[in-house]
Structure 1
Amino acid sequence: MFLAIRELAHAKIRYALIGLIIVLIASLIFIISGLAKGLSADNASAIQNMKADYILMDTDAELEMTKSFISRTDLDNVLQMDGIEQANSLSVRMMNASVNGSDQNEDVALFVTDGDSMLLPSVRDGSPITQEDEAIVDASLQREGIEIGDRLVFGEESELTVVGFTDSQRYSHTPVVFVDGGGRETINAIAISVDESRADEIRNAVGNSFDMVTKDEALKGIPSYSQEQASLNMMIVFLFVITAFVLAAFFYVITLQKRDQFGVLKALGAKTTYLAQNLVGQVVLISIMCIGIAMGLTLGIAELLPEEMPFLLTADEMVQTSILILIVSIIGAFLSLIQIVKIDPIEAIEGAGK
């Protein structure tokens, strides 16, 4: 590490430039990762945060919940199965609501379930549902000016009163409105909590009638969810590849420029492993410093983003992404390690003398 630190101190501008490139690429990776997570939550947080182990849907629905149709009798039969700890109905409707009968309209996802359902989220402000004409709504509607006591009017006959707000309940990029409607004869899905030791047994028992899927699998049925995430994840992968190529090219050129010096060091007794350790040390030091700067820059940018922009990046995710960037950076330096191994001290010294 002594040689690595001395060289970093000697060639400040050279390494500052490559550091700037790494900072920009790492920041872009963090930002796109945050947008990917934010869009995922904005599209499906109501399913991701659902207090259920599995979801049962009609096999013909192909995981698209709004196309699944299940009878109340089927729900009663599921409740009788051994290993089912709890089962609740769920109906999903994409609706447009008028606020207090005014010209203000809001697109919402109506989640209809049982009054004592495990699917009902905890209330942040207000009170839980106590009757069928009450609703708990996602807090994003507060930014639209909706308050507790306001009425959501659906058509001419249906009306709900907002009694509480909850966090992180979005579906298909719209706020979710939870309502008690457990008496419906037809539902879209059944959310179940099961004894995990009997999960396979239950799946086999319902296999002829339902698709028993995890919450992650159910996300694939949300329109555009998979395509949206695939596009953003592909961008992130390409950025990792670009990081590896940039570092590989930079350190390869630097290694070629220092070929004669490495040859002299080898002739003086320096081992190849020592030189390789110093190269890797340089990469690690530069990467750690640049990743730290990129993390701070990303957090600063996140604070400036508008509240309605879907951006979500937790500390754990930032650490995981940082480790990946560091690993990719080290991989990018492997090409230079090969050059160090191949350096012949005699040829390098003779080349330097010409």
Structure 2
Amino acid sequence: MNLAWKEIKKNKVRFVILGSIVFLVSFLTFIISGLANGLSQDNAALIKNLPEGYFYMEEDADESFNLSLIPASIQESILDEYKTAMALSIQMGFLNDSDEKQHSVAFVTSTPTELFVDVAQGELFLDSSLKDKIKVGDTLSNNQLKASLTVKGFIEQEKYSHAPVAFINEQDFKEMYRTEEKQLLFLSDKDKAPTIDGLQSFTKEEFLKTIPSYSAEQLSLNMIVWFLLVISGMLFAIFFYMMNVQKIGLYGILKAIGVKTGTLFKMMWVQMLFITMTALVLSMTLSQVFGLVTPDTMPFDLPLWSTIQLSITFLLIGFIGATLSGLQIRKIQPLQAIQQGEV
């Protein structure tokens, strides 16, 4: 510990440079992770907010719920058999306010359920992101609906495909889209998906992957996060490898006077932990502050547990990188190292 601290004080510039790089890489990783989580909520909060359960869509829909229509006979039998089941439909559309301004929304309707708000005919509930543009009691219209719709309230964090959700009554949805059949069935609180003839089952995670925009966004952003983690591991390996090459003579002397190889590894690990922890504490603090000052229109969500998980991953990768670079220490022979250091 004492040796490690003395070397850090002696070579401040080197360690400050490494710490700065680790800080920048970790800060960028936290920001991208926050954006990935924020976009995930912005794209599929409607689905993610549901409890664990199973989604069913028509088997011939080729895993695209937009092409799915649940036969009325199957829907009725499932709703009768499973009291926690519901049938639902989701369709993208528009609402016009009193100034004839269009607002893009995702219309959602369902059979009576405790999972969604109860909406009477001629009424609707909107995601809270529309609060600044629409007020409770406002009358909105749709080109496919004869009667107008009255806003009865707002619900927090209900979005689909980056559009605010509009919960409407089944009869209004039927008039707008000319269909009585729902697109999906959802069974909650089931440990295993019951087999239903003609329907294909999906867990919540599997269903999210059937949403094209969700899969593409999350895959791209998560690949960037993991790529940055790999870069951080390579930085540690290269940095400590170069440091060890320059200190071969010193290590030879230390081994000659009886310092064990394990002690040299501990010195390197202490240095790695000190640099990484300092950089991570700073980047974690700034990323949390960044989350507080971002505007509401920016999809950013970085829970504290997520930053802690990423920080632990950084520490593990840093430990592996430093350890791999230090394997050469075990091969150092005192006399040979001292002679090499003198050249």
Judged with a 3 Å threshold, the aligned counterparts in structure 2 of structure 1 residues 149 and 335 are, in CA distance, closer, same or farther, namely same
Q: In the alignment, is residue 175 of structure 1 matched against residue 164 of structure 2?
A: yes
Alignment match, 1:149? 137
**Pick aligned residue for 1:271 from 260, 267, 272:** 260
In structure 2, do the counterparts of structure 1 residues 55 and 133 end up closer, same or farther at CA, with 3 Å as the change threshold? Answer: same
Report the equivalent of 1:45.
45
Q: What is the Cα-based RMSD across aligned positions, in Å? A: 1.7
Counterparts of 1:28 and 1:78 in 2: how far apart (Å)?
48
Partner of 1:325: 314
Q: 1:272 to 1:158 in 2, by over 3 A?
A: farther
Distance between the aligned counterparts of 2:90 and 2:129, measured in 1?
Answer: 19
Counterpart selection for 1:218 from 207, 221, 238? 207
4+ aligned runs moved over 6 Å, structure 1: none
Q: Partner residue of 1:92?
A: 90
Question: 1: CA distance between counterparts of 2:219 and 2:272?
Answer: 30
Question: Equivalent residue for 2:23?
Answer: 23
Cα distance between partner residues in 1 of 2:199 and 2:340:
74
Matches within 5 A, 1:301-340: 301-340=290-329
CA displacement 1:304-340 (0-9 Å, x = unmatched)? 3221011111011111011011111111112322111
Instruction: Determine if the alignment matches structure 1 residue 188 to structure 2 residue 189.
Output: no
1:71/1:185 contact within 8 Å kept: no
- Report the secondary structure of 1:112's partner residue: strand
Matched with 2:70 is 70
Match of 1:124 in 2: none
- The 2-side partners of 1:192 and 1:336 are apart by 52
> Which residue identity lines up with residue 289 of structure 1 in the other structure?
T
Counterpart of 2:36 in structure 1 is 36
Find the residue that maps to 1:213 and give its secondary structure. Answer: strand
Residue deviations 1:210-267, cap 9 Å, x none? 1111111111222321111111111111101111111111111011111111110000
> Which residue of structure 2 aligns with residue 58 of structure 1?
58
Q: Please state if 1:107 is matched with 2:96.
A: no
**What amino acid sits opposite 1:27 in the alignment?**
F
Q: Tell me the TM-score normalised to structure 1 length.
A: 0.90
- SS at 1:76's partner residue? helix
Q: Comparing 211-220 with 271-280, which one deviates more in the overlay?
A: 211-220
Deviation at 1:78, TM superposition (A): 1.0
How far 1:194 sits from its partner (Å)?
Answer: 4.1
Map of 2:242 onto structure 1: 253
- Post-superposition shift, 1:279? 0.5
Per the alignment, residue 125 of structure 1 pairs with none
Query: Comparing 278-287 with 44-53, which one deviates more in the overlay?
Result: 44-53
Shift of residue 10 of structure 1? 2.0
Q: Deviations over 1:266-301 (max 9, x none)?
A: 000000011011111111111111111111121222
Which 5+ residue runs of structure 1 have no aligned equivalent? 122-127
1:26 partner amino acid: S
Check conservation: 2:248, 2:338, Cα contact below 8 A: no
User: SS where residue 330 of structure 1 aligns?
Assistant: helix
Identity of aligned residues (%): 35
The normalised TM-score by structure 2 is: 0.93
Q: Cα distance, 1:136 vs. partner?
A: 1.4
Secondary structure in 2 matching 1:191: strand
